[in-house]
């Protein structure tokens, strides 16, 4: 049975009973024995939670996000995990809540002052907004769009490599700029990063990416022309790979991995 997450917003009544806790030590999530912490307020008190937020429910059980001192000793069997390391360790629902919780805590931590006039902001309100009591400016947790672009040519796919990735290759990625469409961003990014042109850009899917506030939007694009060359500022290699001879690529929980897998299945259906 697939779990269901229901979001909650400020002023929502907290359901009684134990809750799932999402304590963050800096950018890392604290877990107990590699599973989410399920506890009462009393038992969670040992880690001295602060800036606690009720963010929603999983199958009716409250989900509480909080921050803890990075230097605080943790109880036995509790440890902090980098969010990227949780790919595959948590199911899709739980990982989605982890990302949501981390972004709300980041927003709470970085939105104390009005960006328009510098006045201390009001408290978190509807849809996690903050309204300035001086000038009335209202801000919301940011969502920054970025594209993922899978470039294909027949039975070949063009993949990129960054220093530090080891043997792993991936598809192209980049942030959307002001005044730019998602498709325009795909064309620009692959031109800048690989010196090629593409066409037939088609949407595949999207995925929130909490590092800290991105929304990844995935596309496939057909190669048209150009000799692939890395830009050498972000990448150190771009290379064509045959569908039957692919390198290590991102895991399935990531949209990049899903795009590559979908392309493989389009050519090699089971």
For the ranges 53-57, 156-160, 168-172, 266-270, the lowest mean pLDDT is seen at 266-270
* Integer Cα distance of 253 and 187 in angstroms: 25
- Read off the pLDDT band of 104 (50, 70, 90): very high
> What percentage of residues in the chain have a pLDDT greater than 90?
84
Per CATH, 5-110 and 144-267 having the same topology is answered: yes
pTM: 0.89
- Read off the pLDDT band of 1 (50, 70, 90): low
Place of tokens 């150009």: 226
What pLDDT, on the 0 to 100 scale, is given for residue 167? 96
* pLDDT tens-place string over residues 198-239: 999 999 999 999 988 999 999 999 999 999 999 989 999 999
What pLDDT, on the 0 to 100 scale, is given for residue 33? 87
What pLDDT, on the 0 to 100 scale, is given for residue 213? 93
CB within 8 Å of 139: residues ≥ 6 apart: 111, 114, 115, 121, 129, 130, 131
Fold (CATH) for 144-267: Nucleoside Triphosphate Pyrophosphohydrolase (3.90.79)
Q: What is the dihedral of CA 68, 72, 76, 78, to 10 degrees?
A: 30
Q: Say yes or no to pLDDT of 98 above 80.
A: yes
- Read off the pLDDT band of 87 (50, 70, 90): confident
Q: Say yes or no to pLDDT of 249 above 90.
A: yes
Place of tokens 């805590």: 105
CATH of domain 5-110: 3.90.79.20
Q: Say yes or no to pLDDT of 71 above 90.
A: yes
Is-contact 25 80, C-beta < 8 A? yes
- Read off the pLDDT band of 89 (50, 70, 90): confident
Query: Average pLDDT, whole number, for the chain?
Result: 95
For the ranges 26-30, 86-90, 104-108, 145-149, the lowest mean pLDDT is seen at 86-90
- Read off the pLDDT band of 270 (50, 70, 90): confident
DSSP 3-state of 256: helix
Task: Domain ranges for the chain, please list them.
Answer: 5-110, 144-267
Q: Is the dihedral of CA 177, 181, 186, 192 positive or negative?
A: negative
- Read off the pLDDT band of 53 (50, 70, 90): very high
Q: Is the peptide bond before 212 cis (omega within 30 degrees of 0)?
A: yes
Q: Say yes or no to pLDDT of 92 above 90.
A: no
* Integer Cα distance of 124 and 130 in angstroms: 5
């Amino acid at each position: 049975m697939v779990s269901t997450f229901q979001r909650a917003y400020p002023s929502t009544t907290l359901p009684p009973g134990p809750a799932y806790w999402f304590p963050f030590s800096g950018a890392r999530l604290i877990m107990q024995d590699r599973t989410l912490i399920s506890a009462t307020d009393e038992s969670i008190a040992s880690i001295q939670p602060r800036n606690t937020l009720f963010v929603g429910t999983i199958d009716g059980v409250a989900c509480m996000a909080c921050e803890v001192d990075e230097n605080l000793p943790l109880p036995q069997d509790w440890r902090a995990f980098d969010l990227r390391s949780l790919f595959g360790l948590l199911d899709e629902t739980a990982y989605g809540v982890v990302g949501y919780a981390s972004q709300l805590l980041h927003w709470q931590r970085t939105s104390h002052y009005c960006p328009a006039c510098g006045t201390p902001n009001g408290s978190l309100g509807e849809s996690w907004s903050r309204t300035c009591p001086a000038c009335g400016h209202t801000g919301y947790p940011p969502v920054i769009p970025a594209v993922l672009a899978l470039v294909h040519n027949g039975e070949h796919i063009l993949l990129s490599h960054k220093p530090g990735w080891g043997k792993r290759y991936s598809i192209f990625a980049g942030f959307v700029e002001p005044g730019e469409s998602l498709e325009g961003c795909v064309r620009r990014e692959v031109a800048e990063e690989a010196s090629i042109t593409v066409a037939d850009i088609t949407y595949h899917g999207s995925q929130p990416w909490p590092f800290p506030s991105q929304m990844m939007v995935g596309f496939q694009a057909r190669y048209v022309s150009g000799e692939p060359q890395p830009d050498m500022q972000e990448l150190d290699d771009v290379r064509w790979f045959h569908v039957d001879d692919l390198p290590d690529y991102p895991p399935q929980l990531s949209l990049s991995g899903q795009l590559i897998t979908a392309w493989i299945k389009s050519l090699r259906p089971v």
